[in-house]
Amino acid sequence: MVTFRFHLLSLTAVFLALAVGIAIGATVVDQATVDVLQRRLKTVQENVARTDKLQSQVDEWKRFSDQAADELVEGRLPQQPVLVVGVRGMDRLPVERFRQSLARAGALLEGTVWFTSKLKLDKADDVASLAEILGVPNGRPDELRRALVGRLASSWAGSGETNPLPRLVESSFVEYESPQGIDIDPATVPRIETKFVVVSDERADVANEQLAIPFATQLAKSFPARVLAAEPAGALFVGPLRQGEASNALSTVDNVGDFRGRVAAVLALQDLANKKVGHYGDGPHASRLVPEPA
């Protein structure tokens, strides 16, 4: 991988070489100036070589980590039901890789629930449709989203209310992806003892403060120590949760886009079985890169 720094050093070397050539060809420049330019050119060339070598080592370690990460989580979540919930618009690749890590850890994947851009509720028909599903007449968009996250969390927690997930899927407010090769009725999701992973990032179609953050908060209140909030990189989504009202009821990982975060997320889910929560990664308010050993 060629970095901007590599290009910058290369261009600097080119210009210094030109300067040396001009200096040598100009009779008005003394030998001392030529010597200084030549030394600078040599230094830049050495820096370019070192940068190239370091980048090669970084690429090699990345290949190693990508290949070894799943070995580190092998069998960590035997037969543990896990439901992933995300927001469309975010980068799918980190989610797919994390689901692969979950499968390698032995988890029973219940599929992925995707909130869609229709939940922006910027069209009157969408507002009316969601109001009818939730039984909240004349609700404003923010009220309907609050009602949505509350209804999902409470019905999943066994309140006796009808699970709105099937109708949300039918109306395209939600998309449901079954695990590969398995046909699951959304009405049966989630199972008893399911752990939840809520994922989002700054590119979510619906702003995090409008949907993903309230949903993760409400879910953690309904299912203390059974929710993990994860972000591929940064802490725009998980940061507010770490300082929010449910910070002691859920775990967070802010770098699930790389192998360190995927390992930390699997270990954090394993800790939830013992009612242990924590905040992991390299972003603000993370206590450790990975959970402490038991």
Residues 101, 191, single domain; the answer is yes
Which residues form the domain of 91? 77-280
User: Is-contact 116 205, C-beta < 8 A?
Assistant: yes
pLDDT recorded at residue 5: 59
pLDDT recorded at residue 28: 54
- The whole-angstrom separation of Cα 197 and Cα 83 is 6
Residue 289 is assigned to a structural domain of this protein: no
Residues 127, 267, single domain; the answer is yes
Count of structural domains within the chain: 2
Q: pLDDT tens digits for the chain (294 residues)?
A: 556 555 655 666 666 666 666 555 655 556 777 777 778 777 877 777 777 666 665 555 555 555 555 678 999 999 999 999 999 999 999 999 999 999 999 999 999 999 999 999 999 999 999 999 999 998 999 999 999 999 999 999 999 999 999 999 999 999 999 987 788 898 999 988 999 999 999 999 999 999 999 999 999 999 999 999 999 998 999 999 999 999 999 999 999 999 999 999 999 999 999 999 999 999 999 999 999 987
- Residue pointed to by tokens 């922006």: 120
Could you give the 3-state DSSP secondary structure of residue 225?
Answer: coil
In one letter, which amino acid is 285? Answer: H
pLDDT recorded at residue 183: 83
Q: What is the dihedral angle through the alpha carbons of 264, 97, 101, 172, rounded to the nearest 10 degrees?
A: 100
pLDDT recorded at residue 72: 85
Mark which of 39, 69, 99 sits at the end of a domain. Answer: 69
Beta strand 227-230 with 195-199 is: parallel
Please state the length of the chain: 294
Residues 16, 86, single domain; the answer is no
Could you give the 3-state DSSP secondary structure of residue 108?
Answer: strand
Residues 207, 82, single domain; the answer is yes
In one letter, which amino acid is 98? Answer: F
Residue 274 is assigned to a structural domain of this protein: yes
Beta strand 174-177 with 108-115 is: antiparallel
Mark which of 51, 69, 87 sits at the end of a domain. Answer: 69
Residue 288 is assigned to a structural domain of this protein: no
- CB neighbours of 45 closer than 8 A, spacing ≥ 6? 13
Residues 141, 118, single domain; the answer is yes
Beta bridge partners of 229: 198, 252
Mark which of 14, 42, 69 sits at the end of a domain. Answer: 69
- The whole-angstrom separation of Cα 219 and Cα 226 is 9
